[in-house]
Structure 1
């Protein structure tokens, strides 16, 4: 365990970097934060520390989108599934399979990013959304409960809906906001997210916001093609970081 000044610097840098990634590609704050902070603390503690930065930055991302109510009406079955799946997976992050779940998530991200970089564009017919959305949501909730990361299978599914850049970013913000709230309630129920942890999480908000502001400035100045490239390269890097645990 590093000394307090080193730990504070490392935590601040982690959330600055995580916010930057999120600002550019619309996701990644939990993945980067939990992955890096797990070097110096338990994954459940790292997940608790990211609650406030994740919630605020996701609400910011959600509010910045163009059509909130349309997005919410379309995706509410998925959001309900996320809440139910996270509740059903309570205890997974602190259980014996937490490391294996994180490694599996890393490999799943690598596969998805490789497909995206290869220009494979999956699609979900509108007639299947009504039943598929809650299933995807429940799966995302279970992964959230096990790893503290909200990406799989939510991101591939939202990508498959064929949303435009800004609509996709807003849909991600909605999904991640619901996931963060569900995760916070689950960790609080398990006694991991307490008042002292919430205060520490609040302190991590400033570097996360600074990083996200910088990332959004960068994203606002790239083309659709460059945005997609950043999106999938970012996923590939995040997945590689998580999967590296299989070789250590």
Structure 2
């Protein structure tokens, strides 16, 4: 990896921006970081850089509340299949050409942005959870493994479970933490997670946490809903660019 000053500055700014998004909306660090880094490096390399900042910020998020044990009892089948799907999907991320994996990332971003902009109000009955949760986890894991993005379809699914606000934040943090660990394991298994990437992943923790702090300050001054709409449009444009880039 060419670690020139301009390259390091670009990575630092990327994680600062991604951290601000997470500070304002409570999610989005991996999605924003992957979408921006995917423009200048392969998704596999970008995913490797995400491991430590994503893990640290999401552990903090999933532990910030009293419902962790109850959520683990309820969601463990989904978490298990996230791991299995991610380990399998990461083999594709490691062995697929950057152009194809970039297109997959772009498709994931477009699907997520489109769904979140429409934001349909859905509710899953508890009687469907025993079979639906493992399926959602498996699909989420495969998408995570292929693209490095954790959100689809786990985030929409968790939003349908009638969790209160604090429980939802914890459930998202739990899902993202498990996804991060599984992705790190998959990248390591396929010899994508290199020692020099681990050191750089450690360095970008600082701008990511600084961005989260700034985002929390900004959150009290702007409408999170309006900000999220602008962010989703931005992600949709980036996703479209990643999809069409191999044909330009």
Give the TM-score of the pair, scaled to structure 1: 0.89
Residue 113 (structure 1) aligned with residue 116 (structure 2): yes
Q: Does the C-alpha gap of structure 1 residues 238 and 87 become closer, same or farther in structure 2, counting only changes over 3 Å?
A: same
1:189 counterpart residue number: 189
What is the alpha-carbon distance in structure 2 between the residues aligned to residue 75 and residue 227 of structure 1? Answer: 27
Structure 1: state its 5+ residue gaps.
none
Deviation at residue 65 of structure 1 after TM alignment: 2.9
What is the alpha-carbon distance in structure 1 between the residues aligned to residue 216 and residue 79 of structure 2? Answer: 25
Deviation at residue 164 of structure 1 after TM alignment: 2.4
SS at match of 1:160: coil
Give the TM-score of the pair, scaled to structure 2: 0.89
Q: Does the C-alpha gap of structure 1 residues 42 and 99 become closer, same or farther in structure 2, counting only changes over 3 Å?
A: closer
Structure 2: state its 5+ residue gaps.
none
Q: Does the C-alpha gap of structure 1 residues 227 and 69 become closer, same or farther in structure 2, counting only changes over 3 Å?
A: farther
CA contact under 8 A between 1:109 and 1:236: conserved in structure 2?
no
1:73 counterpart residue number: 73
Deviation at residue 53 of structure 1 after TM alignment: 0.3
Pairs aligned (count)? 242
Deviation at residue 203 of structure 1 after TM alignment: 0.5
1:208 counterpart residue number: 208
Q: Does the C-alpha gap of structure 1 residues 80 and 36 become closer, same or farther in structure 2, counting only changes over 3 Å?
A: same
1:168 counterpart residue number: 168
Q: Does the C-alpha gap of structure 1 residues 239 and 145 become closer, same or farther in structure 2, counting only changes over 3 Å?
A: same
What is the alpha-carbon distance in structure 1 between the residues aligned to residue 6 and residue 218 of structure 2? Answer: 29
CA contact under 8 A between 1:53 and 1:202: conserved in structure 2?
yes
Q: Does the C-alpha gap of structure 1 residues 231 and 39 become closer, same or farther in structure 2, counting only changes over 3 Å?
A: closer
1:18 counterpart residue number: 18
Query: 5 Å matches for 1:17-36?
Result: 17-36=17-36
Deviation at residue 236 of structure 1 after TM alignment: 4.0
Q: Deviations over 1:81-110 (max 9, x none)?
A: 100111121321131431331122122113
CA contact under 8 A between 1:50 and 1:201: conserved in structure 2?
yes
1:9 counterpart residue number: 9
